[in-house]
Chains A and B, each alone.
Chain A
Amino acid sequence: MKILYPFILLTLLASNCFAQSYSPMYTPSSSHNLSFQCIDIYDRPIPGAHFTVTPGVYHQTNAHLHDSSSHPFSSASPGSGYADSNGVFSFTLVDTLIGQAEFISITCSNQAGQVTGQFNYAVGYNDVYYNDHPDIWIKIGGDDTGGGTGHGTTAYNRYMTSSAAYGLYNATYTYFGTHPGVSQLCTNDMTLPFGGKFDISDTWASPHISHDRGTAGDVAGPGSSQCPASNQVVISDFIAACVANGANATHSIPEGNHAHCNWADPSTYPH
């Protein structure tokens, strides 16, 4: 007996067991109809086979280096049922807000026995990119700079969509041009490697909602202990540079000791 993902000739049991996979990658808070087929050793469908589907999560993925008993992951509905006349069972996967590697454990059974397979996937965005320019940006906001939030070093908090990355880059040069003598500034949180909830309080929830998509970046201003004083920006000036380089004016704001620039309205993405 085998389980097949019906549109791909793949025997899940043999090839995909207990291995993280970032493909497919499902958008946070989206839902998907998934179908699996149960077949016998002669590759014949098993009508009426009983299925159970149990979602799960790989821990410490997408830079979530913290954990708790409330760690959320995607849900499947219905969680069990019977295959149709082609041996196919369908259910809806509702994805969490957390960007991470997940899996679904699938069991099909009949009176002759049972077999279990695993479908690996991830939740997140595959259009965010590592965004650093060491010649003009000093990385802050990670364990290595005293700004750790349970998400590793500064290598993990700096992913952005391409358009937002260029916006921040261009805003940086506009700022340099309007502040002669400044040639480096400190960039803090953007988003995690595959986006999704950037839970700086390690609670799998907000605040920091505007960093869930890779469209926002923080730049240190006065009062930032991680950034040398000579590299701290005048917050209102940097926000003005962001807005003149395409950032969303309503959602680019001063946030305490840093300029927060967002190239999108947070209502346009799940958070």
Chain B
Amino acid sequence: MRTATGPTQAPTLTSSIAFAGGAFLALSAALYGAQEPSAAKFSPPPVWRPDAASSLPRQYVFATATGDALIIRVPAESDYVKHGGLPLIRYDLHNKVIPEIATRVARRGDRFDYSYTISNAKQAGDPIRMWWLIIPAGTEQIQVSPPDQWGGAPTVPAIMRQVELPDQPLGRSIMWLQDDPQKVVLPGRSKADFNITSSCKPGFTSAFFGSGTLVNFDQNLPPEVFEQLRFYDDPTWGKASRLSLGPTFCGDVSVESAAANLISGIRRLIQLNRLQSSSSFVADALAALRSGKRSIDHPPTGPGEVEVLTALQLTLGFTMGRTP
């Protein structure tokens, strides 16, 4: 009898480099590109159109315009169709969740308490039964405390794509789920107290939400169809993503990595209209992160800015007030 050997450990992407004042900007730029961004490897499928057979004769996989289903046009000459298989198949993705996520982060000694409340808009068409939060690659012990009768646990390989922050590296995840249909997050409802305790300092990360209903592809479909379904093997594909704060910087914090993450998150919040680029606080924060300064002159206004300030304070030791 033989026993399995160990898997390859994910590489550690961060390096600990002392904060170097004016030299920071150049150093940051150089290392920023070394973070192995997690941008998508595959394009999404084209939108289904009734004339697809003639206009896109070699395209077999499509998405509906609303993005809630895949349409498979099986090659007519395939054995699958010749043996009676359907030439056109619709796979509903059951992804009509409209999530929001709110985060509270607090320092407790040398650890950080993260607490999440998730909600599902009343216009949603599916309940939230599962959700995932990306955490850094590695073996850092992270204590997961789900709310009553939910389950939560970390995964191991760093395969989750930072959809909200494509310049950030792949991570593993904490997976939360609920099996009782009465306790899922129905449209118009929310659930609080998804708690994490970790020594990892806060940064921006991506969260994903789904109904937990699987797509069960017919495994007898021809290879050319599966060839075009490769995007589906991205475990983040088809799930609703949201920007969040989470345990991001474990061990020695690399200042440049932390700054890159925070800049990326602020930019994304501006894109999402959750922060205003004209805000004095936002301008201060971006300028400080780029210059290596660790203080902000203008106070935050609104919950988004408070969230950013929390991360700046807890991760990089930012303070409020003019630097003398």
Contact = CB atoms under 8 A, between A and B. Distances in A.
Interface of A: 129-131, 160, 162-163, 165-167, 170, 173-180, 210, 234, 236-237, 239-241, 243-246, 248-251, 253-254, 265-267
Contact of B157 (A179, A246, A248, A266): A246
A20 B289 CA distance: 68
B2 A267 contact: no
B214 to A, nearest CB: 5
A174 B175 contact: yes
A243 B219 contact: no
Given A170-B157, A174-B175, A244-B155, A250 B233 contact: yes
Contacts of A166: 4, 6-7, 156
B213 interface: yes
A159 to B, nearest CB: 9
Contacts of B116: none
Interface of B: 1-7, 130, 132, 144, 151-157, 159-160, 173, 175-177, 179, 212-214, 216-217, 219, 223, 226-227, 229-230, 232-235, 237
Given A249-B233, A254-B216, A129 B4 contact: yes
Contact of A250 (B152, B155, B173, B229): B229
A247 B99 CA distance: 26
A177 B146 CA distance: 10
The 9 closest A-B pairs by CB, nearest first: A177-B153, A178-B151, A165-B4, A170-B156, A166-B7, A244-B155, A129-B4, A246-B157, A130-B1
Nearest to A161: B4
A160 B4 CA distance: 8
A16 B237 CA distance: 54
A254 B4 CA distance: 26
| Majority secondary structure of chain B interface residues (helix, strand, loop or mixed) | loop
Contacts of B175: 174, 178, 240-241, 244
Nearest to B232: A250
A105 B4 CA distance: 35
Contact of B153 (A176, A253, A254, A265): A176
Contacts of B212: 236-237, 240
A175 B179 CA distance: 12
A83 B4 CA distance: 44
